Amino acid sequence: QVQLVESGGGLVQAGGSLRLSCVASGRTFSSYTMAWFRQAPGNEREFVAAVSWSGVGTYPADSVQGRFTISRDNAKNTVYLQMNSLKPEDTAVYYCAADLWGPGTMNGYEYEHWGQGTQVTVSS
């Protein structure tokens, strides 16, 4: 079983940056493809980015390409989401998710484990 705890959210002005972290429990972190999703009030959950179990493959959504970077440190059981050039439409609760040996899919139903989420608010 994997437990995920996100941190790093907060309030930032448009154009600013934040770095989210997600720490995973357990010894098999390096076996999981990790991803970030987000959900704004009244909206469906949206895929943000995924990183392969090795960290070599990264798969950002078109909406964040060039602004957000996903990475991981398997020695620290941690996945990161560096968010730059933030926009008000990036405001959402951001969730970390894990998929055992997954392909980095955008489909949230493929991910077996989820964190509780961290709020990101971008003011205009």
In whole angstroms, what is the distance from residue 61 CA to residue 65 CA? 6
DSSP H or E run through 4? strand 4-7
User: In terms of Cα–Cα distance, which of 4, 1, 43, 2 is closest to 20?
Assistant: 4
Q: What is the pLDDT of residues 68-80, one digit of tens each?
A: 999 999 999 999 9
Specify the pLDDT at position 102: 85
**Residue 44 has what pLDDT?**
96
- Is residue 8 a contact partner of residue 18, using CB atoms and an 8 Å limit? yes
Tens of pLDDT, residue by residue over 63-107, are 999 999 999 999 999 999 999 999 999 999 999 999 998 888 899
Least confident of 24-28, 45-49, 85-89: 24-28
One-letter identity of residue 77: N
Pick 105 or 9 by higher pLDDT: 9
- Map residue 107 onto helix, strand or coil: coil
Average pLDDT over residues 44-69: 95
Contact between 22 and 79 under an 8 Å Cβ cutoff? The reply is yes
Tokens of 7: 């941190």
